Amino acid sequence: MKKVNIVTLPGDGIGPEVTKVAVDVMKAACLQNGVEVSVTEHPFGGVCYEQHGVPVTDETIESCKETKIVLLGAVGGPKWDNLSADKRPEAALLKLRKELGVFANLRPINVYPVLADASTLKKEVIEGTDILIVRELTGGVYFGRPRFTSEENGDPFSVDTMKYSRSEVQRVARVAFEAARLRDKRVCSVDKANVLESSRMWRKSILEIAGEYPDVELSHMLVDNCAMQIIRDPKQFDVMVTGNLFGDILSDAASMLTGSLGMLPSASLGGENGLYEPVHGSAPDIAGQGVANPLAAVASAALLCRYSLHLEEAAQKIEEAIQSVLTNGLRTADLFTEEPGTTLANTKDVAQLLLKIINDTVEA
Ligand code: IPM
Ligand code: MN
């Protein structure tokens, strides 16, 4: 049997609960495809700070670089909100993304037909939505220098820098163009080129390589308009490519199309490295209660199977199991609307059904 090693970083809040489900489901699906997954777990984020005084240790970063495949839960919580920037749980995540060089963050937004009623938006608007957001993840205002806080005539001020270079833009744009080739062959690049220098560089850099993808239709949209369009008519989008901050915001907005932020997986890719994490946060308010929706973490594990293990069958098996859970009417609290035929489920109920579906289809 083939063996693969991955690192898990369950992190804070609901992170450990949802990561456990994702790991169990992934192991089961991979076993069926002749691959044994073994897991090395490290503390990450707030829990790591409690143990080591830093949100991530060098050892953990090294371990992630070595295995190249990382499944992450979530980080952060009110307990660590007042720490200095470098000690905050979020700093660990940013450092890990940068160290792994995972510059392309893929956030697929698919509306499961059975959840079309769980969204706060009208069914006819969201039904059939299938968007791939490609968010640049290791540049932009998240990492730009200088970055500091100072004071001017007794008035404190802070500076962040939004910087994009041509090469940074073009490498992520290529990921978007390539992805579009396997889909509806349309890329919408989102920027703020009417105001920002870095956005004008963004647009120019994409236009420079667009000719290499004559089969893909390229359009440009300003980010404010895009925030409106994604709610008004999400079906107009196929692949969207955008910078770090805009992608962060637009993907939260887009998550509501699917009914819950608890449904959104992500894959961050760069070279041979893959970092997989649900888009949602650590949800400290519901942590430890066993009620968290594990489906975004599970769907992230499916992406791990697809992009890092190249086990398309296992990926599809997991994605079908997610579908079946929903079709069976199981809904964690974030999705529950008292619709007939649905039952309020906790994390464990969902986990058990996922595993049952995967293990029952061994011969299929
Ligand atoms: C995300 C999160 C992170 C981000 C935070 C936790 C640093 O919101 O992955 O979308 O802003 O990138
Ligand atoms: Mn975010």
Question: What confidence tens digit (pLDDT) does each residue in 74-131 have?
Answer: 999 999 999 999 999 999 999 999 999 999 999 999 998 888 888 889 999 999 999 9
288 and 200, same structural domain?
Answer: no
Q: Is the CB of 136 under 6 A from ligand 1?
A: no
Q: Does the residue 156 lie in any domain? A: no
Distance from the CA of 248 to the center of ligand 1, in angstroms?
7
Work out whether strand 217-222 and strand 130-136 pair parallel, antiparallel, or are unpaired: unpaired
Q: List the structure tokens of 315.
A: 């990926």
Query: Residue 4's domain spans which residues?
Result: 1-101+271-364
Residue 361: pLDDT over 80: no
* Cα–Cα distance measured from residue 32 to residue 307, given in angstroms and rounded to the nearest whole number: 18
When divided into structural domains, the chain yields a total of 2
Of residues 361 and 17, the one with the higher pLDDT is 17
Whether ligand 1 lies within 6 angstroms of the CB of 12 is answered as no
For residue 347, tell me if it sits in a domain: yes
Is 265 domain-assigned? no
Question: How many CB atoms within 10 Å of residue 65?
Answer: 15
* pLDDT, position 114: 87
* Spacing, Cα 340 to ligand 2 middle (Å): 33
* Whole-number Å distance between alpha carbons of 159 and 165: 19
Residue of 9, 244, 248 to test ligand 1 pocket, by largest number of atoms within 8 Å of CB = 248
| pLDDT of amino acid 337 | 87
pTM: 0.95
In this structure, the residue with its CA closest to atom 4 of ligand 1 is: 248
Q: Is the pLDDT of residue 341 over 50?
A: yes
- Which ligand 1 atom is nearest residue 97's CA? 12
Active site residue 12: no
Q: Is residue 146 part of a domain?
A: no
Catalytic hit among 95, 252, 349, 356: 252
Handedness of CA 334, 20, 15, 310 (dihedral sign): negative
Give me the residues paired with residue 158 across strands. Answer: 149
pLDDT of residue 364: 43
Q: Is 224 annotated in the active site?
A: yes
- How far from chain centre, in Å, is Cα 199? 23
Establish whether residue 296 lines the binding site of ligand 1, counting it when its CB lies within 6 angstroms of any ligand atom: no
Cite the DSSP H helix spans in 256-338: 295-307, 312-327
Summarised one tens digit per residue, pLDDT across range 18-60 is 999 999 999 999 999 999 999 999 999 999 999 999 999 999 9
Active site residue: 20, 49, 142, 191, which one? 142
Residue 73: give its domain's CATH number. 3.40.718.10
Q: Does the pLDDT of residue 293 top 60, yes or no?
A: yes
Query: Which range among 78-82, 259-263, 297-301 shows the weakest confidence by mean pLDDT?
Result: 259-263
